Amino acid sequence: MKERSRLNQPLLESEPIASNGSISLSRLKEKQQGIQVKKWQLLVTTLILLTSGFILGQKYQPEQPVSTKPAVKTEVNILPVETIEIKPVTSYQTSQIYTGEVTALRTSEVGFERGGKLISVLVEEGDRLKKGTPLAALDTANLKAQRQGLLAQKARAKAILAELKNGARSEQIAAAQATVRDLEQQLELEKLKSDRREYLYREGAIAREQLDEIAFNRKALSERLANTKSNLDELKNGTRVEQIAAQQAEVDRLTAAIAELDITLDKSILRSPFNTIVSARNLDEGTVVEAGQSILRLVEDSQPEVKIGVPITVAKQMQLGSKQQVTIGNENYSAVVSSILPEVDPATRTRTVVLKLAPAAVTKVAPKEIARLAVTQTVDTDGYWLPITALVKGDRGLWNCYAVVKTADGKETKVDRRYVEILKTQEDRVLVRGTLQPGDEIITNGTHRLVPGQLVRQVASL
């Protein structure tokens, strides 16, 4: 192939040819170098000609009229930004919500103190009742019969007592005196008979037996006379105090028995122990109930209470009698702290605060409803309040914000980075601390368009 390429090249007349018919290698190299030199010379000559033509063209180009207008200066795009001047704070207020429930002051399962047949239930569930309103009644027919018997006994005892107090009647005394006189006359007659019989006995006219018979009759009449005189004296002197006292005691006993029966009759009617709402009806008419068995469940219809557990530190800050706002359902109610229970709940480690609602709330809330109490506390800490829109998320979970500062020449304002730590978030603002100084102008929005060092222009915040 090398031989063929060589044969295709034109030979110069002066080139020697070897005996074998080939061109000398040294002459071939010289020829190639000469060709390269000529190429470079041609290139340089071309460049010289082009340069000369350009220079001549610029020299003979007609002059353009000089513009008298001032040169237009290109303006840099400066972004407008809204800023706020930050001020330091030493504390902030936080609101925490605690949950509890509405409770009734009193709740009772009411029933009778004695057993019996339930003959009537006078109320229905949901009824609002005043204190002392009848609720239910038991059968009292047997108690009423016993009362009638006791009343009769008392009447008899009182009549006897009155008789004892009044003493004997004059007619009784007169009759007793007549009896005494009659016995005295009979005794006098027997005395005469005895004297005659004794004379006859001494004369032997009568037997000893007849004399003794007269003597015995005389002695019997004497004893009857003494007894009759004693009764007369008793009638004249009146009844003894002890008898009157004993009869009075009997009257009092019967009076107490009737009073006890009246109490039992009264307790056979179940009454409301306080202003109440009937929560549940447990039994109906016709049921034979036992003593203490629940007939109705009552919830007090008066000023309701709310019990809420709060942390111990919060309970210590609350004052008795202080006013609070309690939310029940979607309504807010004014409440007063009535007491703080002394014991700590072992499960929640909280103390129970008891708040009394206004009396008007009794018709709007019900026991067991959920109640919420918002407690405001003051936390001491140093920092600055910023709008949330002023925050810029940095690296590794850190946060930044941008401040507006003067440039070195004092003619422009630019963006400067501030590193901050978030202490507290409240709705649309945050409390932060960091590389901030009082009076710094912090950019409030549009921070996604900015970078540190960028020129900006402050505008009034809306």
pLDDT at 136: 94
Distance CA 117, CA 336 (A): 46
Question: What is the model's pLDDT at position 306?
Answer: 93
Q: Which residue has the tokens 């900006």?
A: 456
Mind spelling out the 3-state secondary structure of 262-296?
HHHHHCCEEECCCCEEEEEECCCCCCEECCCCCCE
Domain chopping of the chain, boundaries: 2-55, 80-89+380-459, 98-104+300-378, 110-135+270-297, 144-262
d(CA 46, CA 53): 11
If one counts every other C-beta atom within 10 angstroms of the C-beta of residue 403, the result is 21
* Angstrom distance (rounded) from CA 399 to CA 442: 14
So what's the pLDDT on residue 2? 40
Q: Are 334 and 161 within 8 A, CB to CB?
A: no
* pLDDT (0 to 100) of residue 302: 77
Around 185, how many Cα atoms within 13 Å sit in the side-chain half-sphere?
6
Rounded to 10 deg, the angle between the 170-203 and 208-237 helix axes is 160
Closest to 86 in 3D by CA, of 454, 393, 453, 434: 434
pLDDT at 19: 41
Q: Is 23 helix (H, G, I), strand (E, B) or coil?
A: strand
From the list 427, 293, 305, 399, the residue with the least C-alpha distance to 358 is 305
Pairing of strands 276-281, 134-138: unpaired
pLDDT score, position 275: 87
Q: Please return the burial class of 32, using the count of CB atoms within 10 Å of its CB with bins 0-12, 13-18 and 19+.
A: exposed
386: which strand partners?
430
What is the crossing angle of helices 241-266 and 141-166, to 10°? Answer: 160
H-only helix segments in 112-204:
141-166, 170-203
- Report the chain's terminal Cα–Cα distance, integer Å: 90
Please, what CATH class does the domain formed by 80-89+380-459 belong to? Answer: mainly beta
Question: Which has the closest alpha carbon to 319: 339, 334, 295, 345?
Answer: 339
Class of domain 98-104+300-378: mainly beta
pLDDT of residue 414: 92
Per-residue pLDDT of the chain (462 residues; tens, 9 = 90+): 344 444 344 433 334 434 444 444 455 556 566 666 676 677 777 777 776 666 655 555 555 444 444 444 445 578 899 999 999 999 988 888 999 999 877 888 999 999 999 999 999 998 889 999 999 999 999 999 999 999 999 999 999 888 777 766 677 777 877 888 888 888 888 787 777 777 777 777 777 777 677 777 778 888 888 888 888 777 666 667 788 888 899 999 999 999 999 999 999 999 999 888 898 999 999 999 999 999 999 988 777 889 999 999 889 888 999 999 999 988 899 999 999 999 999 998 999 999 999 877 877 888 889 999 998 888 889 999 999 999 998 887 789 999 999 998 888 899 999 999 999 998 899 999 999 999 999 999 888 889 999 999 988 665
Fold of 110-135+270-297: OB fold (Dihydrolipoamide Acetyltransferase, E2P) (2.40.50)
Identify the pLDDT of residue 11. 39
Alpha-carbon 341 to chain mean position: 13
